[in-house]
Structure 1
Amino acid sequence: MYNFIRLLKLCKPHAGMLLLGAFLASLTVLANVGLLAISGWFLAAMAAAGIAGVHMNYFTPAGVIRFLAIVRTASRYGERMITHNATFLLLSEIRVKMFATLSRLNNVDLAMSRSADLVNRLQNDVDALDKFYLNVLLPIIIALFTIPIVMAFMSAYNAKVALICFISLMIIGVLLPVLLSHKLHKQADAETRLSAELKAELADTLKGSRELAIYQAHDAQLTRCDTLSQQYNSQLYTRHKAIANSNGLSTFVVQLTMLASVFVIIPLVATGAMKNVELAMLALFVLASFETVLTLPAAFIELPVALSAAERLFSLEDKQTPAPYKKHDQVNNQHALGLELTNVSYQYSGAHNDALRDINLSIAAGNKVALVGASGSGKTTLVNLLTGLWPLQSGSLKLLAAEHSVELSSLDANERFMQLTIVAQQHHIFDGTLRDNLRFAAPEATDKMLIEACKQAELGSWLNNLKNGLNTRLGTAGRKLSHGQSRRIAIAQALLRQGNFVVLDEPTESLDNHTKYSLLNTLEKVWADKTVLTISHDPVMLNRVDKVIWLEQGQIRAMASHAELVENEPDYVELITRF
């Protein structure tokens, strides 16, 4: 029920359109019920008049029938147009909300989720909610609005028939849906879970086809996919079987109700308490009245699926932990920022040891500092905490600006990344032109600025040899680039930024010596007045920094210049040589 209410809240911005669609749909149902009932009376009356050889006024009922037919057609057209437009509006609302939720998740939540599962939530779970309004909410609203009106008119003719019809309506519209919903609730959760697992496994199979071929594990992986497919198909069969049984039972109840109504009416016609032409009218009236609830069983079958999908989406939203962000003008327009970490510790969920433990360090504004350490020593964790993409668990992390110090957690994402320029080790290249990719870093940059950044990143000769220049498409994930070219494009993007604190993760990786030396000379000039923190094990890079911070098992083992560490620490020499 809680997730149902949250879904209703998503409908609030478009409530007017949704209610208008429900009104037109209800009007269509009432017009159809009235049309069938009056048509039954009219045909029976015309037949009786013909047998008796008397005249009757057929203009009025014919006019009413024509009017109801026009109302039904017009309202049906309007209902289809309005309800489908409302569905698209609601779907766009859900998609935007879901994408905004993913964009606000911290890296811990994203890292602990399979990318295929997140795509499945963004696409398939959202698509499952596509049916929420049309197939779930709309039938419920129609039933609540039309059943009292139909029962009021039917009671005016015969209370017993109305009671029989009402009981049958409750069986089809309430009892049967409740039973189905209870029966299929757990099945819906399993169906949604299996669908997500199957899509994730298929995505992994396609992405990892090379590794599966190398290790000859294709058969085992395909067997797993086939097992999940069979389990998922079994769940679908159960739901479709329930729908078929529900439709059959509903039809049976409708026919029994009409037959029972006829048996109630026949004695009244025989005694003259009711006109014979009203027998056909009431029989068809009873038959048509079930249009108000016939879609409810299917709605309650779809409801658990929609709620299960909603629960998966809302579970991501519930992971968000809004921070008390404030605007800090004192960090703006500074040439460089210092950094101070006090008692910073971090532990990953489920891990026994701390990734970082009681880190205390200070970097003065304008300093060039390197982080070194074996794999798992905490380098990347420290940088992720600095960028704010992973939440700080304990301790204090401050940016030092002139005479002020500002807690990093008090800056919102825009403020933080206005100050930070980051070149990550894994850098994504978008499927677009070189110009498009560079302008992600500086949307207002001119072509002259883009070309200059490429030259500074040692991409000048490569760019000059490109037939289409900045208009060259780089392919999905930069597949047309070498790893070294991809790294230099990332550095060109960083050069276009005006951040005051630069974070570089293995900036010289995959570069030849000539390119490396030229690039480092350029970076020293361009970022001479910036604070630079580099993760690197390259002796050439380490020899150019002011201080090296050596991390080991989540703690600082030593802080000194590269020359001092080389002279006094044999383990340090082995570390940078090994890398």
Structure 2
Amino acid sequence: MTNFIRLLTLCRPHYKAMLLGTFLATLTVLANVGLLAISGWFLASMAAAGIAGVHMNYFTPAGTIRFLAIVRTASRYGERLVTHNATFLLLSEIRVNMFATLSKLNNVDLAMSRSADLVNRLQNDVDALDKFYLNILLPMLVALLSVPIIMVFMAAYNANVALICFIGILLIGVVLPALLSAKLNKNSHKETQLSAQLRSELSDTLTGLRELSIYQARAGQISKCNELNEQYNQQLFSRHKALANSDGLSLLVVQLAMLGAIVTIVPLVYSGAMVNVELAMLSLFVLASFESVLLLPNAFIELPNVLKAAERLFTLEDKVTAQEANSAKLIEIQFDKNNTTLALNNIAYKYQEHTALTNISFTLKAQQKVAIVGRSGSGKSTLVNLLTGLWPVQQGSIRLSDENNAEDLHALSSNTRASVINILAQQHHIFDGTLSENLRYAKPNATKEEMLEAINLAQLAPWFNALQDGLKTRLGTGGRSVSQGQSRRIAIAQALLQNPAILVLDEPTEGLDNQSKQTVMNAIMQVMSNASVLTITHDPALLAQMDNIIWLENGSLVAQGTHKALSEKYTDYVALTTRF
């Protein structure tokens, strides 16, 4: 019920359009009921008058019928226009809210999920909420508004017929939906889950088609996709079967109610207590009245899926709200960039049962250059992730200090952390925009002169001078129009613009040819001239220029010292840092 109320809250910005749509839909139902009932009376009266050979005033009922037909057509058109527009407005509201939620989500939560799973699940959940107003809320509101009005008019003619009709409406609008909802609620999440898994597997299959062909694993992967497809189709079949059963039962209830009304009215007509033409009118009145609730079974079939989707989305939203509440308590201060020290004390970290780091302690002093070396899985990347401040420290502390301040890294606001520490990842994302737009992500108010200086210091001048559009050159989606080395140097130019106190580099020369590597190293040297540097690297040329080397193995600190000292003392270190 809480999720239902929260969904109603999302509708608040567009409540006027939704209420107008509800009014028009109710008016359509009432006009249709009135049209069918009056038409039944009119046709029966005309037939009776013809048999009796008498005249009757047919202008008034004919005019009423035409008026109701016009009202029904106009209100139906207006209802479709307004309700679909309100649905699109609600959907845009949900999508914007979810994008805002994702953009604020802690990197730990994002990192612990496969991106394809997360995106597909969210897409399915948002698509499920698309049905909330049009398929669920609107039928409920129309039933609540129209049923009392219909019952009042029907009871004015005959209370017993009204009671029979009301029982039928309760069966179709309450009992049947409740039974269907209880039946489908247990498996309501499986359809969305299987759909997300199927999309993810199909995406992986298309992306990794080359590897699947090389290893002759295509058949196995397709078989896995087929199995998921079968499970997903089974869930769809169950839901559609339930919907078909509800339609059949609803039709049966309608026919029985109409039959019950006829059985009730016939003796009254026979005894003269009711005019014979009212038999046709009330029978059709009962038949038409069920239009007010015929969509409720489908609404209750959809409701469990929508509420489960809402629950998953609101869970993410609540998580972000909690994070923002914690962020409000964080400290916003200014550090002296020329005198900032980074100290790690007894840092430990675990991924479930796997230990990534164990009691790591070292200090990065102002203007000092420190490198981290170690085999794959030794904890280097985990250490860098902790330094971003977005991953929680499970044990130990990371502190930033200068002459006047000393604070825990995780007690600082994101703005303070970003102004002090810059993380230059191995895979740097280039946005689909111009060169100047990408540079201004690091410094939004950067001038043209500052950007040109950063380009020059990052060793990008030869490439930049050959560009016809200069800073207005579009770099393409994911930086398709630039090479890997150019992408690294653009990242270095961004770091130069931000001018951080501490620069963290993750394998800055990995995967580059010798010429590109040398150019990138020259750019790094320029950055290193006025910042403290912590780099993950195994490049001997870069290690030789470090003040201190941190050697990690299996998450533990093996040794630290200069590159020369470690090379003379440890043969394993030489093997680790020597490239053949």
Amino acid at match of 1:376: G
Q: Distance in 1 between matches of 2:278 and 2:329?
A: 74
Tell me if 1:342 matches 2:345: yes
Amino acid at match of 1:107: N
Q: Distance in 1 between matches of 2:411 and 2:67?
A: 66
Give the 3 Å change call, closer, same or farther, for CA 16–406 of structure 1 in structure 2: farther
User: Once structures 1 and 2 are overlaid, which stretch shifts more, 478-487 or 288-297?
Assistant: 478-487
TM-score by length of 1: 0.92
SS of the residue 1:355 aligns to: strand
Amino acid at match of 1:554: G
User: Once structures 1 and 2 are overlaid, which stretch shifts more, 418-427 or 330-339?
Assistant: 330-339
User: Once structures 1 and 2 are overlaid, which stretch shifts more, 558-567 or 223-232?
Assistant: 558-567
State the shift of 1:201 in Å.
Answer: 0.3
Amino acid at match of 2:89: L
Do the aligned partners of 2:336 and 2:402 also contact (CA within 8 Å) in 1?
no
Structure 1 unaligned spans of 5+: none
TM-score by length of 2: 0.92
Q: Paired residue for 1:147?
A: 147
Q: Deviation string for 1:216-247 (max 9, x for gaps)? A: 10111011111111221222122222222222
SS of the residue 2:131 aligns to: helix
Q: Paired residue for 1:97?
A: 97
State the shift of 1:278 in Å.
Answer: 1.4
Do the aligned partners of 2:357 and 2:554 also contact (CA within 8 Å) in 1?
yes
Q: How does 1:366-515 map to 2 (within 5 A)?
A: 366-466=367-467, 468-515=469-516
Q: Paired residue for 2:366?
A: 365
Q: Paired residue for 1:38?
A: 38
State the shift of 1:155 in Å.
Answer: 1.1
Q: Paired residue for 1:213?
A: 213
SS of the residue 1:269 aligns to: helix
Q: Paired residue for 1:568?
A: 569
Q: Paired residue for 1:249?
A: 249
Do the aligned partners of 1:330 and 1:401 also contact (CA within 8 Å) in 2?
no
Q: Distance in 2 between matches of 1:238 and 1:41?
A: 42
State the shift of 1:170 in Å.
Answer: 1.3
Amino acid at match of 2:28: T
Q: Paired residue for 2:239?
A: 239
Q: Paired residue for 1:330?
A: 333
SS of the residue 2:530 aligns to: coil
SS of the residue 2:391 aligns to: coil
User: Once structures 1 and 2 are overlaid, which stretch shifts more, 425-434 or 202-211?
Assistant: 425-434
State the shift of 1:161 in Å.
Answer: 0.7
Amino acid at match of 1:223: S
Q: Paired residue for 1:306?
A: 306
Q: Distance in 2 between matches of 1:510 and 1:375?
A: 16
Q: Deviation string for 1:300-347 (max 9, x for gaps)? A: 121222223223333434554512434645326744532122332211
Give the 3 Å change call, closer, same or farther, for CA 39–413 of structure 1 in structure 2: farther
Q: Paired residue for 1:12?
A: 12
Q: Distance in 2 between matches of 1:484 and 1:521?
A: 12
User: Once structures 1 and 2 are overlaid, which stretch shifts more, 431-440 or 246-255?
Assistant: 431-440
Q: Distance in 1 between matches of 2:553 and 2:525?
A: 28
State the shift of 1:287 in Å.
Answer: 0.8
Q: Distance in 1 between matches of 2:60 and 2:526?
A: 94
Amino acid at match of 1:538: D
Q: Distance in 2 between matches of 1:424 and 1:128?
A: 37
Q: Distance in 2 between matches of 1:412 and 1:489?
A: 26
Amino acid at match of 1:351: E
Amino acid at match of 2:389: G
Q: Distance in 1 between matches of 2:445 and 2:214?
A: 46
User: Once structures 1 and 2 are overlaid, which stretch shifts more, 561-570 or 375-384?
Assistant: 561-570
Q: Paired residue for 2:112?
A: 112
Amino acid at match of 1:182: A
Q: Distance in 2 between matches of 1:329 and 1:251?
A: 66
Amino acid at match of 2:536: I
State the shift of 1:469 in Å.
Answer: 4.5
Q: Deviation string for 1:400-424 (max 9, x for gaps)? A: 1431122222333333223322210
Q: Deviation string for 1:239-264 (max 9, x for gaps)? A: 22222222222122212211221121
SS of the residue 2:503 aligns to: strand
State the shift of 1:169 in Å.
Answer: 0.9
Q: Distance in 2 between matches of 1:329 and 1:309?
A: 37
Amino acid at match of 1:226: N
Alignment: residue pair count = 577
Amino acid at match of 1:151: M
Q: Paired residue for 2:261?
A: 261
Q: Distance in 2 between matches of 1:518 and 1:316?
A: 43
State the shift of 1:451 in Å.
Answer: 4.1
Do the aligned partners of 2:485 and 2:516 also contact (CA within 8 Å) in 1?
no
Do the aligned partners of 2:332 and 2:412 also contact (CA within 8 Å) in 1?
no
Do the aligned partners of 1:114 and 1:200 also contact (CA within 8 Å) in 2?
no
SS of the residue 2:377 aligns to: coil
User: Once structures 1 and 2 are overlaid, which stretch shifts more, 196-205 or 521-530?
Assistant: 521-530
User: Once structures 1 and 2 are overlaid, which stretch shifts more, 368-377 or 473-482?
Assistant: 473-482
Structure 2 unaligned spans of 5+: none
State the shift of 1:435 in Å.
Answer: 4.0
User: Once structures 1 and 2 are overlaid, which stretch shifts more, 391-400 or 507-516?
Assistant: 507-516
